[in-house]
Amino acid sequence: MKFDEKELEIIGEYNMPGIYGAPDSIVPKYNRPITPKENMLRMLDGRMPLWVPNQTLDNNAIQPLVMPDAKARNFGGTDWFGIEWEYEPNTKAAMVKPGTRRLSDITKWREELEFPDLSAIDWKKDFEENYKGRIAEDRFSYFVIVNGFFERTADLISFEDAFCALLEEPDELTAFYDKLADWHIELIKIAHEVYHADMILFHDDMGTQISTFFSPSTYEELFVPQYKKVTKAAHDMGMHICLHSCGCIKTLMPLMIEAGFDAWEGQDSANDKAAIMKEYGKDLAQCTLYIIPADMSDEDAVADIHKKVDELAMTGRFACRLKDEKPDRAVNLADELYRYSRIKYAELEESKC
């Protein structure tokens, strides 16, 4: 199916809910040859898509603000587990308020920590008021869950003590994670049944700019068994699941695959994404936040998009949330990403015939 310029015609619009504190937005609906949802599913399932999915346009992103975690992480305030977050305007994000400590010790989690009652939230009311009629059925929907297993541990007892607990209290952490996994599975069930999500985007950062926080053996012992429960639950409900995990974490890729994740949303500046795609792309799709800076010229921006497609996307296992930080750019980079990847994929398929 060769590319036709008519595919760039705007035939409607989508009213898109905001995530991560961003406002709601209106994005165009295009005259695509297949639906954006079908195209995204092809990418995740290992079937060649027709173009690189631009999640900014092609996906419904769901992060209900009735979740205290979402509100605290996006704007500051108290999260689901009683941790206070402080919004920082320069980075437009929130961090745990300095000096905050929710647990005296990880061994005290049974006595000092109350797990949130998910049934106390009127999820159906939130869906009716904020999402019904806005989650387009022809677009792929993903539901954002922040604060995974390690992140939650660090938030509760500090990064320093979290690292110590990994070495000194593996049995206590396993018991805590068992309950946390069950709680997350209940939340995933709500995402599926109430919000009709096709995928869970599960956050759990695992590294610094230069390496992982801990060894692969620690990851395998403490986190993989818990992730397996969560990914199995999502798959049993007919959903995909993507792990958002920042840091330089290439050494964890085989274990992420073993854990059952369908895709990885990772940090471009900390990883050789092309090398990771070449080695692991068959078993683990990549999603990424792809930012074009405002000071990049139009010519360089177009060249960068072509390079990204050539280096990462020709496996058919790549999607991105394209964000152009220059509002008055003469070139429509979303159109360029679509056009270039659409032509390259068509040529690739034709060469196989």
Establish if 27 belongs to a structural domain.
Answer: yes
pLDDT of residue 353: 82
Residues of the chain with pLDDT under 50: none
Establish if 295 belongs to a structural domain.
Answer: yes
pLDDT of residue 32: 98
What does the alpha-carbon distance between residue 209 and residue 197 come to, in Å, rounded to a whole number? 32
Establish if 26 belongs to a structural domain.
Answer: yes
Establish if 127 belongs to a structural domain.
Answer: yes
pLDDT of residue 1: 81
Establish if 55 belongs to a structural domain.
Answer: yes
Establish if 86 belongs to a structural domain.
Answer: no
Establish if 87 belongs to a structural domain.
Answer: no
Calculate helix-pair angle for 149-157, 170-193, nearest 10 degrees.
Answer: 120
Domain encompassing residue 154: 3-65+92-350
Establish if 104 belongs to a structural domain.
Answer: yes
CATH of the domain at 108: 3.20.20.210
**Cβ neighbours for 318, distance < 8 A, ≥ 6 positions apart:** 43, 52, 277, 281, 285, 286, 287, 288, 312
Q: Tokens standing for 235?
A: 């798959």
Alpha helices (runs of H) in the chain, residue ranges in sequence order:
36-45, 55-58, 68-75, 109-112, 123-130, 149-157, 159-168, 170-193, 216-218, 224-236, 253-259, 273-280, 298-308, 333-352
Q: Is 120 helix (H, G, I), strand (E, B) or coil?
A: helix
Q: Tokens standing for 33?
A: 């040859």
CA 24, distance to chain mean position in Å, is 18
pLDDT of residue 91: 84
Q: In terms of pTM, does the model score above 0.85?
A: yes
Task: Please count the structural domains in the chain.
Answer: 1
What does the alpha-carbon distance between residue 25 and residue 16 come to, in Å, rounded to a whole number? 5
